[in-house]
Amino acid sequence: MASQQQLCVIEGAKVLMVGAGGIGCELLKTLALSGFTNIHIIDMDTIEVSNLNRQFLFRKSHVGQSKAKVARDAVLRFRPQISITPYHANVKDSDFNVDFFKQFNVVLNGLDNLDARRHVNRLCLAADVPLVESGTTGFLGQVTVHVKGKTECYECQPKPTPKTYPVCTITSTPSKFVHCIVWAKDLLFAKMFGDKNQDNDLNVRSGDASSSSEHAEDVFERRKDEDIEQYGRRIYDHVFGYNIEVALSNEETWKNRNRPKPIYYRDILPEEQSQQNGNVDKICATDDPSSVSAMISLGLKNAQDVWSLIENSRIFLEALKLFFAKREKEIGNLSFDKDDQLAVEFVTAAANIRAASFGIPLHSLFEAKGIAGNIVHAVATTNAIIAGLIVIEAIKVLQSDTKNYRMTYCLEHPSRKMLLMPVEPFEPNKSCYVCSETPLTLEVNTQRSKLRDFVDKIVKAKLGMNFPLVMHGAALLYEVGDDLEEDMVANYAANLEKVLSELPSPVTGGTMLTVEDLQQEFSCTINIKHREEFDEEKEPDGMLLSGWTQASPVVKNEKAPIGNGGSTSNALPAVQLDAEDDDELEVLPVGTDTVPAGKKRKLAGSSNATTSGTSSVADETRNHKTQEVLDDDDDDVVMLGDGNSDSSKKRKLL
For residue 153, say whether it is annotated as part of any ligand binding site.
Answer: yes
For residue 406, say whether it is annotated as part of any ligand binding site.
Answer: no
What lies within 8 Å, CB to CB, of 365 at 6+ separation is: 295, 303, 304, 307, 344, 345, 348
For residue 108, say whether it is annotated as part of any ligand binding site.
Answer: no
- The active-site residue, picked from 25, 124, 168, 524, is 168
| DSSP character at residue 294 | H
For residue 333, say whether it is annotated as part of any ligand binding site.
Answer: no
For residue 12, say whether it is annotated as part of any ligand binding site.
Answer: no
Beta bridge partners of 140: 137
| DSSP character at residue 46 | B
For residue 404, say whether it is annotated as part of any ligand binding site.
Answer: no
Cα separation, 83 vs 69, whole angstroms: 13
For residue 371, say whether it is annotated as part of any ligand binding site.
Answer: no
For residue 476, say whether it is annotated as part of any ligand binding site.
Answer: no
Alpha helices (H) along 422-508? 451-453, 486-496
For residue 551, say whether it is annotated as part of any ligand binding site.
Answer: no
Backbone angles phi, psi at 425, to 5 degrees: -70, 155
Assign 150 to helix, strand or coil: coil
For residue 51, say whether it is annotated as part of any ligand binding site.
Answer: yes
For residue 97, say whether it is annotated as part of any ligand binding site.
Answer: no
For residue 113, say whether it is annotated as part of any ligand binding site.
Answer: yes
Residues counted in the chain: 654
For residue 19, say whether it is annotated as part of any ligand binding site.
Answer: yes
H-helix or E-strand spanning residue 415? strand 407-415
For residue 642, say whether it is annotated as part of any ligand binding site.
Answer: no
Strands 407-415 and 418-423: antiparallel
Sheet holding 83-87, edge to edge: 83-87, 38-42, 15-18, 106-109, 131-137, 140-146, 407-415, 418-423
For residue 284, say whether it is annotated as part of any ligand binding site.
Answer: no
Does the annotation mark 524 as catalytic? Answer: no
| DSSP character at residue 450 | B
Tell me, what amino acid is at 247? A
CA dihedral 388, 67, 461, 547 (to 10 degrees): -20
Beta bridge partners of 141: 136, 410
For residue 232, say whether it is annotated as part of any ligand binding site.
Answer: no
What lies within 8 Å, CB to CB, of 43 at 6+ separation is: 18, 19, 20, 21, 24, 66, 67, 68, 71, 86, 87, 88
For residue 20, say whether it is annotated as part of any ligand binding site.
Answer: yes
For residue 517, say whether it is annotated as part of any ligand binding site.
Answer: no
User: What are 516-519's contacts with CB under 8 Å, separation 24+?
Assistant: 516/465, 516/468, 516/469, 516/471, 517/122, 517/465, 517/466, 517/467, 517/468, 517/469, 518/467, 518/469, 518/481, 519/92, 519/94, 519/97, 519/466, 519/467
Cα separation, 536 vs 529, whole angstroms: 18
For residue 22, say whether it is annotated as part of any ligand binding site.
Answer: yes
CA dihedral 221, 222, 225, 229 (to 10 degrees): 150
For residue 473, say whether it is annotated as part of any ligand binding site.
Answer: no
Beta bridge partners of 603: 423
For residue 156, say whether it is annotated as part of any ligand binding site.
Answer: yes
Cα separation, 16 vs 42, whole angstroms: 8
Chain CA centroid to CA 175, Å: 24
Cα separation, 102 vs 78, whole angstroms: 29
Q: CB burial class (10 A; 0-12, 13-18, 19+) of residue 510?
A: exposed
For residue 432, say whether it is annotated as part of any ligand binding site.
Answer: yes
Tell me the binding residues for ATP.
19-24, 43, 51-54, 67, 112-117
* Active site (catalytic) residues: 168
Tell me the binding residues for Zn(2+).
153, 156, 432, 435
Tell me the binding residues.
19-24, 43, 51-54, 67, 112-117, 153, 156, 432, 435
